[in-house]
């Protein structure tokens, strides 16, 4: 970082932080988490489109005015947390780097660039050492899956992952969340649903993830889970087959995951590993039939995991099934970005 000589009254170094996309759903959670976690902020600069410029936001008792995002917005900034869309990041991240800042980017713009580290701190913090000004945040569904899979992978390499996602509308942004709320009211009032942000009715419905289907028959969201996991695990041979689905849940993604290991890994060992894994919380009460639910994962930093069981379709003991839920706006996006920033500060 281009660290300025700023200190607080205790002599601690402070950092000038800019948020690109400060008025969006992820940007708002970034602000919450910066305050909750006591990130050492000197100046906070909130940036958004011209349409949002001039709006006021409260942060730790002070009123901040949203500024218009421009090429010259990054003077004297140390850290940029970017969550304003891929095209915006591609345009403005180089400007921030030229001004001396480090960009932690929450979009898809740089994730698969071989020169840009793709990082989840619980998985591959060592990759931060290779950054040249940009660090990419993985896709939300990838993060939520891999925080749970990685500690098991370290015990025995995972050869194959079969995953089905149940993705909350929060993954499509603030306007999509508003649409789920308004559409639900419309349907309950006997009115026809009017999709605007989503291609289909989302209230009381679910549908295949609304990203483009590629030649191989998988949508973009599914291929993100494949490619990003391989990159972070440094394992190009791991086989992954996802099916991604949008569900009428406001916040927190859920995923059903089947793992095939190189060696025998049984249910009790998997449970013991996950109980000690950073960023993971076991919710697995068989007696009460209480397992991970998005309503309970919402607002939590940890990814919830349960339904931990041996794969009964295998006779060789190399399969485990799991069900997980994680807050897409926190660990799936804003929290992971801020954890990366905290790692940078420590380094």
Residues known to be catalytic? 140, 253
Tokens read off for 256? 């059903």
Residue 307 to residues 60, 150, 242, 262, 325, Cα–Cα distance (Å)? 40, 17, 19, 21, 11
Element (H, E) at 63: strand 62-65
Nearest to 89, CA basis, from 17, 20, 170: 20
CA dist 205 and 28 (Å) reads 27
CB of 334 closer than 8 Å to CB of 30: yes
CA dist 344 and 129 (Å) reads 9
- Contacts for 270-273 with beta carbons within 8 Å, 24 or more apart? 270/152, 270/308, 270/320, 270/322, 271/308, 273/151, 273/152, 273/155
CA dist 284 and 305 (Å) reads 7
Nearest to 297, CA basis, from 283, 308, 284: 283
């Amino acid at each position: 970082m281009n660290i300025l000589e700023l200190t607080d009254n205790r002599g601690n170094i402070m950092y000038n932080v800019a948020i690109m996309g400060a008025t969006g759903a992820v940007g708002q959670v970034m602000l919450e988490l910066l305050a909750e976690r006591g990130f050492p902020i000197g100046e906070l600069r909130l940036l958004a489109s011209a349409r949002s410029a001039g709006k006021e936001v409260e942060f730790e008792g002070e009123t901040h005015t949203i500024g218009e995002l421009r090429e010259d917005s990054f003077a004297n900034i140390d850290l940029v947390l970017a969550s304003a869309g891929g095209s915006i990041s591609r345009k403005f991240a180089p400007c921030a780097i030229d001004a001396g800042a480090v960009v932690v980017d929450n979009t898809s713009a740089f994730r698969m660039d071989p020169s840009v580290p793709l990082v989840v701190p619980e998985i591959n913090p060592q990759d931060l050492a290779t950054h040249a000004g940009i660090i990419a945040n993985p896709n939300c569904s990838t993060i939520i899956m891999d925080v749970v899979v990685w500690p098991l992978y370290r015990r025995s390499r995972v050869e194959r992952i079969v995953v089905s996602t149940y993705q909350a509308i929060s993954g499509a942004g603030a306007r999509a969340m508003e649409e789920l709320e308004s559409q639900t009211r419309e349907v309950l009032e006997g009115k026809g649903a009017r999709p605007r942000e989503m291609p289909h009715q989302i209230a009381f419905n679910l549908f295949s993830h609304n990203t483009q289907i590629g030649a191989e028959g998988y949508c973009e969201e599914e291929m993100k889970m494949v490619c990003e996991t391989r990159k972070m695990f440094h394992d190009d041979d791991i086989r992954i087959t996802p099916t991604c689905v949008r569900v009428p849940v406001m916040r927190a993604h859920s995923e059903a995951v089947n793992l095939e290991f190189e060696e025998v890994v049984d249910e009790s060992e998997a449970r013991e590993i996950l109980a000690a894994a950073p960023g993971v919380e076991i919710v697995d009460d068989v007696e009460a039939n209480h397992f991970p639910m998005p309503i309970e994962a919402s607002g939590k930093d940890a990814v919830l995991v349960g339904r931990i069981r041996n794969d009964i379709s295998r006779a060789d003991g190399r399969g485990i099934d799991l069900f997980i839920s994680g807050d897409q706006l926190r660990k799936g996006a804003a929290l992971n970005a801020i954890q990366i920033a905290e790692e940078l500060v420590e380094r």
